[in-house]
Structure formats: structure tokens, C-alpha cells
Amino acid sequence: MFLSFFLGEASHDNCSTFYLIRHAEKVRADKSEPNPDLNEKGFLRAQNWKNYFSDKEVSKIYSTNYKRTLKTVEPLAKKNNLELVFYSPSDIDYDGFIKSNIGKTTLVVGHSDTIPDFVNELIDNDYYPQIDDLNNSNLYIVSVCGSTVTHKLIKVD
């Protein structure tokens, strides 16, 4: 510990982990419906996300205010007794977001056209493209530890 202090490494308390996902599969019967619910496969995926995150010590969940995003994270929020924090993808102070979540494990759920942008802002790099409209399995993991930022994308089916 003494050596790591002088090497400039941040303490573990200053490290944050951000998990970012797109909502689960939605009902596609009416393309004009702006706020569709999850379909059967989507409800199953929501349960799978709950199981996936059960040992990740998520302490905060951010969601857009749409049926499909809310129902994607409701099972995990209920299991962990967490209140959902609503956000608007077009109105985020990313530096403030990172600072307000220092030392936490945070889950963010959004949309195919917002989550990659969110990740790119967190990593300060235009690295990830938008998600294909039929892809609901991307999991982006961003770790911020002091000034060190790492990121990866995995598929969770």
C-alpha cells in the first residue's frame, strides 16, 4: 500500500464501476408506439440481468423513464431494494455523473442510440458505435480509478 501511494495509484475507494446496458426486447407490434412494453423474451432477459448482476454489488441504478427500460431493471432494483434514478440522455453532465458515483458500482439502462454515446462520454473517446436495433445483449463495463479509465464490451445472452 505504501509503495502504491507513491506510484500514484488511486485507493480502491476512489474506483468506480459502471455497467451500461440497453433495455431488453420490446413489443414491436405497433411501430408508431413510442413507449412499448417488453415482450416475453424481454421479460426473460430482465430476469437474466437480475441474475447476472446479483453478485456485482450494484448500489445505484439509472434508467430513462420508459416502460422497456424500467421493466428491464425492476427485478434487480426490487431484489436489491434500490430506487431507480431517472435520467435524460440529452441532459447529462458526464463529469458530474462520474463524480457523484465515485466508489460505487452503478448500472445504467438506456437505448440502442444512447448507451454507446454514454459509454463514449465516460471514456472520453468515440469508440463504440450505435447498437443494432435487434441486439439487446451488449454489456459495457467502464472502470474509473483515479485518472485511469478502462472499458470493455461483452455479450450476455
Domain ranges of the chain: 14-155
User: According to the model, what pLDDT value does residue 96 have?
Assistant: 96
| DSSP conformational letter for 54 | T
User: According to the model, what pLDDT value does residue 12 have?
Assistant: 61
Task: Please give the CATH number for the structural domain made up of 14-155.
Answer: 3.40.50.1240
**How remote is the C-alpha of 1 from its chain's centroid?**
31
pLDDT beneath 70: ranges in the chain: 1-12
Strand ranges in the chain using DSSP code E only, listed in sequence order = 15-22, 60-63, 84-86, 105-110, 138-145, 148-155
| DSSP conformational letter for 26 | B
* CA gap 42, 73 in Å, rounded: 11
Going by C-alpha positions, the residue among 80, 143, 75 that lies closest to residue 109 is 75
Going by C-alpha positions, the residue among 60, 97, 64 that lies closest to residue 80 is 60
User: According to the model, what pLDDT value does residue 1 have?
Assistant: 39
Pairing of strands 105-110, 138-145: unpaired
